[in-house]
Every structure is written in structure tokens, then in C-alpha cells.
Amino acid sequence: MAKVPSAVVAAGGLVGGYGVARWTKKRQLGGAVLAVAGAAAARQWQERAGGKAAGALTAAYVAAFAGSHPLAKKVGAWPAVFGVAGVVALASWAVADREG
């Protein structure tokens, strides 16, 4: 069975975490989705690209989450979430998922 690319896991965590928080009105539940997906992506980053890359990508994931909040005030919530998720997915793909 093929593994889900870390780019998809990371982007899915950002989008899914926000969606769950918004639709359930339970921010903690959205945070749990965000954290579980982030941990899964970090594990993949560690396995595929090593510790330094995993640390940098994890920092980017956390920064994307934090950065989506002020960005949402300028462009709206969903565009902000999709934007930061796209940036993290691209970075993840470039560092850990791209083959050769």
C-alpha cells in the first residue's frame, strides 16, 4: 500500500484542523486534528529527509498555523488556510516527497 505523501498530510492537517474547529465550534477538537496531522507529517519528514529538515518543516507548519490568523483578517479565513496549507505542502514536497 502506498504511503500518503507528507505534503498531503501536512496540508490536510491545516485545512482539516480549521474545518473541524469551524464546523464543530470546538477549537480544541480542531487543534487535536492539527496536532495529530502535524505529528504524522513530522514523523514522515524525519524518515524521508532527516532531523534538520523535519525540524524546519515542523517550524514551517507551526508558523503557517500562526500566520493564517492575521492573514485571515486581510483575505478571509478559508483563503488564508488554503494559502498557508499550499505553502507548507509545496515545501514538504520539495524537501521530503520529491523523488530524486
The pLDDT tens digits for 16-71 are: 999 999 999 999 999 999 999 999 999 999 999 999 999 999 999 999 999 999 99
C-alpha cell at position 29: 477538537
- 36 by Cβ neighbours in 10 Å (0-12 / 13-18 / 19+) ranks as middle
Q: pTM, whole model, 2 decimals? A: 0.94
- pLDDT for residue 3: 85
pLDDT digits over 39-51, tens only?
Answer: 999 999 999 999 9
Q: What is the Cα–Cα distance from 100 to 12, expressed in whole angstroms? A: 24
